[in-house]
Structure 1
Amino acid sequence: MKVSTKARRVRPLALPLTLSLSLSLMLALIACAPITPMSDGTPVPDAVGPEQVLNLDQGWDEATQMAFWFSTQGSRIVPYTWFLALEQAGNSQPFRSNANIERLGYLPAKPGPGRWNHDGLPVGFAQTQGPQTQAWLGLTCAACHTSQVNLRGVGLRIDGGPSMADFNLFFRELVAALEATWADTAKFERFAKAVLGPGASETQKQALRLALGQQAKDSRQRLTLNTPSFPAGHARLDAFGNIFNEVLVVALQQPGNAQAPDAPVSYPFIWDTPQHDKVQWNGSAPNGPFGLGELTRNVGEVLGVFGGLGVNDCGKDGCRYPNHVDIRQLGQLEGWVRSLWSPQWYEKALGPLDASLVQRGQQIYQNQCISCHAVIDRKDPFRRITAQMRDVGTDPAMATAAAMRMAKTGPLQGTLAFPSFQRYGAEAGGGALTVQAATGVLFGDLDATLAALISQYEAQLQDELRGSAAQRNARPATPRPSAELLQQVLNPKAQPAAAQAAAAEASPTPTPNAIYKARPLNGIWATAPYLHNGSVPTLWDLLQPVEQRPRQFQVGSREFDPQRVGFDTARGPSRFDTRLPGNSNSGHLFGTTLDEAQKRALLEYLKSL
């Protein structure tokens, strides 16, 4: 097992916020004031957590890891300097303090190195440049897809692992902090001094306070739209529900399309994602040879984390889709994920595996699991994975919500739908409308889209150079995307077969209710809790009959249990109740009839994957 040669501390979904023109002007005025940056030497407290945090060998060097953690994707939550200066609602402690960030389920990070993260943002938070030189705070994929396993004072950082974050709690408390800062004179004065500098004029302060009030109002509206009926808690989010509301309610300006995001799921682990034929828990997002499916999927993700989508100027031939998604950066992102390997069990921190049990468990796996969960070589650059879609009796809420969501088309009515090129009626499926929005973003900037597709293509070729010459020669060449191809995709009258295939790539795959994707289980030991909705806390519990699985347990602790393979369920800030809608822990009965010795052997093998 390769680990960083020197133990080191690792350093450093939701809807867009639409600001009024008046707020933009106020921010421009504020931007002219001197700014006191947090990177001017102000001490940043040590990260909360274990004494050492180690990187496992997952195929990334530090530069790639930093780029994945902190590269902007175009997300804009609040102005950047505001976040650096903002206090918590109920006290004068920084909102961004490491203790508060850890409490919300995100991973604190130290400033640096080099060009990265000068202000010590948490993992998955980034600076996004906006108009009039105004910088914004945004989220990246790493906020939801980076995790950590702690045991006996050592933390193992898992790139691509499911986050422990409670985004709903984070945003609710961020909104409360904005409102408290606006309402409390002393708190506002401290905020204004940090943002504007000690010599700010009263005019600048007044502009800041007006802008803060508008930001708080807009943020409160977004929070109200996306508040679920029951808290999702740590390690879960109804990302589809948030994205649907972004597109169907905010962008289409159709308040009647709103639905509470009540089908939360665990954040998926994303190693091997580009190598799958389809992704998402319900298998609704196809990948393909041209890379358009991957790019459409990633655009959709940014639309869910404050991507600023609008739909306007619609005519018979289409609409405009203004946004601030960083399309080029998304091409880089997919390339980094392509080179990511799953983590392997690290015996020095987690304890040694029993070789004889692993061998016995492997045979049980071949008999019980292999038909759905293929065994792959995590480092094979040519690995390709066909997702197995199965109904195994697990909770249907997420799949049903995605498949059944319908919406009024609003300004899209009468325009051409992509990729069918039929005209929209008064209503359409939420999934199809979301794809329409994402592809509208892509085809609104063909230069950036082509650059992103080429970046994905070059990353795949680079990754395949890790393979042998024989491996490369045994496979057909990867098709290179071209500007002509993108133009053909948009032409409903003359689409060649290649363009038709590329258009189909971006289309969601309809899936029946309660059907979910089974995938290879390499790295599964680092991805608790289990099942798509996080309703089973450990792998050991998953091997028990449903009536013996925990009905309630705590979520949010990073302390690992290497015997049961999961996190400490006695501690943690969130209470998971399997009796609530969408939280059922039923189904997936494979392995539950084994005797205890067989279960122990199978569990030991699962650790080894």
Structure 2
Amino acid sequence: MRLLIRLLVLIAVALGLGLAVVVYYIANPKLPAYTPAQQVHYLEQWSAADRQTYYFTPQGTQVKGLHYDWFQALELPFSQQRFAAPEYLARFGFLVDPAQKATPDNPGNLPVGFARHQNPGSPEQFLDITCAACHTGELRFNGQAVRIDGGAALHVLPSTVPTLRGGSFGQALVASLAATYYNPWKFERFARNVLGADYEDGHKSLRADYKRSLDMFLKVAWNDTHRGLYPTEEGPGRADAFGRIANASFGDAISPDNYRVANAPVDYPQLWDMWTFDWVQWNGSAQQPMARNIGEALGVGATLNFFDANGQPLKGDARYPSSVRVRDLHLIEQTLQRLQPPTWPENVLGSVDKPLAAKGRALFTENCASCHVPRVKKINGRDVQQLHLLPVAAIGTDPTAADNIADHRFDLSALQWDPAELAQLDVQLHPKPTEPLDLSKLSVAKGLAYVTAFVENRAYRDAGVTAAERPVLDGFGLPIGVQELRAYKARPLAGAWATAPFLHNGSVPSLYQLLSPQDERASSFYKGTFEYDPKHLGYRTEAFSDGFLFDTRITGNHNSGHEFRAGKRGNGVIGRLLQPQERWALLEYLKVLGGPLEAQLPETVAMQKD
């Protein structure tokens, strides 16, 4: 009996030590070191005022009730260092300027895209993570940084699924929130920092409000983990946007039966010229700018209520209160219309070989233009680029994202939508359904179209948007158009040199590899560094301390398709084999495509082929 007790004690101690190790690594993630750039070079993509508007205009996300001043006061779990210190947040891949100081628009001196907002009639200020956090990039070369406004971020933002490796902002934030609440000395410092002179009166209510926010974070972390919703780790610069929005809007807010495995992370796409496209999203499924932006805000954390306090579905004009800020979303959208593609900075990244670029221009016309130069049509006074949507069967790239969007179905019948009401909404389904919609089996695109239509109507009323203003805020008077194709869009390539990694899922690290057959592409490589390779036009891929290893053999990560190689066209082969010198010429041309240097190219010289 005594031996059994000793054995049980040893087992308990071992389990306790094991749990302590797990908790330590979850709360103390392995993050790459941060070395400030010697200088950040801002390209002439737009004005400094537009840049600040884009960086710090709130869109209505509330990050699960997290207050702006709470975020500023948080400490790391095992020290008194501030979680929101710029040099710490930079280790997750968020963008800070070494010379950045607090400003009226950014009083917390936080990274790009970390804004604040107040809901009407409330004194509380919430942390508002905006589209700029995910759609702003940076390249490093020889200690210099080149900011790419509207480019792809490299942070690890969305994941709430804890791993021993860590590295995710979501995981680290939850660890700091929990450590602050459950460590009485930490919470004491936190409360005095937040409340100041109001400490005595506000301590109790602060703790209760804080616990409600923490519980929401912990609930999501537990839910996402034990359900196995995100088996393909997103890593730097990626998120399964449609999957996360669907799980939040249909699973969290309606029924657990609506949770779906989201195993198709995609890169954050670049935003310049986006307002001229006929269809957006990687699969070309969305049309109206406001509806697209509302969907993005809901995915990042805007509040949304489908039911009343008694659990009954909201109906009529009571649908659907949210925290989205439609006037601010419109301001961001208008500002982005002035964003120009980045132009190759020769003073930082090196001079362009113009004769070689001229040869690349001819190769581009031969091999790339048929897909990446869209037809331009004037519609309602606006030049619209009609993008080519390439079927997955033809382009051959990883089909998981397109298949999930096309195949997943969700039961929204609990919302008790009346088909007659749906018909009155400004939603256009392409092609037009020939049978009544089955609300128990709606696709993510159709479901979000109707949800955003209701949210949009309510938000417009709450913001006092008039009937005359509405077409402008919608974006060019467009309806909430939806189409569902197993396809990915081929967008224009101005500024493509600044948008690594490549393909919709970020599975190809450089443009040189993208122009190469699949068997010449890296099957695994490291992501998360800002260090740029101006020769191959991509981020550097060698191992570095606490980097993220990207494995193209995992579902959602495949680097197949978009191949130039010998053999029959189709099933991912889109062109003939390009010789190495032809690839180099194409890269040189892609540095100048759409920019002022393109006009300086000499007449094309024929290139010899091996």
TM-score bracket, normalised by the shorter chain, equals 0.7 to 0.9
Change (3 A) 1:186 1:54: same
Give the secondary structure class of the aligned counterpart of 2:384: coil
1:328 touches 1:449 (CA, 8 Å); kept in 2? no
The residue number in structure 1 matching 2:297 is: 302
1:349/1:456 CA distance change after superposition, 3 Å: farther
Gaps of at least 5 residues in structure 2 are: 1-33, 160-167, 565-574, 594-610
TM-aligned CA distance change 1:276 to 1:199, over 3 Å: closer
Q: Distance in 1 between matches of 2:101 and 2:125?
A: 19
Contact 1:245 1:258 in 2 (8 A): yes
**Contact conserved, 1:69 with 1:124, CA < 8 A, in 2?**
yes
Judged with a 3 Å threshold, the aligned counterparts in structure 2 of structure 1 residues 453 and 553 are, in CA distance, closer, same or farther, namely farther
Which deviates the most, 301-310 or 407-416?
A: 407-416
Given candidates 535, 538, 552, the residue that maps to 2:524 is 552
How far is 1:412 from its partner? 2.4
Say whether 1:520 aligns with 2:506: no
Distance 1:414 1:306, change over 3 A: closer
Out of 594, 597, 600, the position equivalent to 2:581 is 597
Deviation for aligned residue 1:353: 0.7
C-alpha deviation, 1:112, in angstroms: 5.6
* Cα separation, partners in 2 of 1:605 and 1:295, compared to 1, 3 Å: same
Seq. identity, %: 35
What is the Cα deviation at residue 96 of structure 1?
A: 1.1
CA distance in 2, matches of 1:458, 1:243: 22
Cα distance in 2, alignment partners of residues 354 and 239 from structure 1? 39
Is the CA contact 1:331–1:456 (under 8 Å) kept in the aligned structure 2?
no
Q: Does 1:320 align with 2:319?
A: yes
Distance in 2 (alpha carbons) for counterparts of 1:204 and 1:316: 37
Q: 1:50 to 1:412 in 2, by over 3 A?
A: same
Structure 1's 399 and 453: CA in aligned 2 closer, same or farther, altered over 3 A? farther
Structure with larger Rg: 2
Report what 2:550 is aligned to: 576
Mapped contact 1:545–1:592 kept (Cα < 8 A): no
What is the 5 A alignment of 1:72-471?
Answer: 72-77=58-63, 78-109=66-97, 115-130=104-119, 132-167=122-157, 168=159, 169-197=168-196, 200-201=199-200, 204-226=202-224, 228-251=230-253, 253-286=254-287, 293-312=288-307, 314=313, 320-374=319-373, 383-391=383-391, 392-416=395-419, 417=422, 418=425, 419=427, 425-447=439-461, 448=463, 450=465, 454=469, 457=472
Distance in 2 (CA, whole Å) between partners of 1:318 and 1:508 is: 24
SS at match of 1:364: helix
Deviation at residue 210 of structure 1 after TM alignment:
2.5
Q: Say which SS state the counterpart of residue 36 (structure 2) adopts.
A: coil
Give me the whole-angstrom Cα distance separating, in 1, the residues matched to 2:536 and 2:314. Answer: 58
Gap change, CA 1:354 and 1:454, over 3 Å in 2: farther
Match of 2:263, as an amino acid? D
**Matched residue of 1:444: which SS?**
helix
The CA distance in 1 between the partners of 2:316 and 2:467, in whole Å, is: 25
Q: CA RMSD in A?
A: 2.6
SS in 2 for 1:371: helix
CA positional deviation for 1:89: 2.4
Contact 1:328–1:452 at 8 Å: present in 2 too? no
Pairwise CA distance, 1:319: 5.9
**TM-score, normalising length: structure 1:** 0.79
What is the TM-score with the length of structure 2 in the denominator? 0.79
Deviations 1:448-490 (A, max 9, x none): 4846984984999xxxxxxxxxxxxxxxxxx7x5xxxxxxxxx
| Deviation of 1:261 (Å) | 2.6
Number of aligned residues: 508
Decide whether the 8 Å contact of 1:75 with 1:302 is kept in 2: yes
* 1:558-583 CA-partner distances (Å, limit 9, x unpaired): 11100111111114521100011100
Is this contact kept in 1: 2:239–2:265, CA < 8 A?
yes
Deviation at 1:298, TM superposition (A): 0.6
Gaps of 5+ in 1: 1-46, 287-292, 461-478, 482-501
Cα distance change of structure 1 residues 152 and 453 upon mapping to structure 2, 3 Å threshold: farther
The amino acid that maps onto 2:578 is L
For residues 184 and 437 of structure 1, the distance between their equivalents in structure 2, rounded to whole angstroms, comes to 41
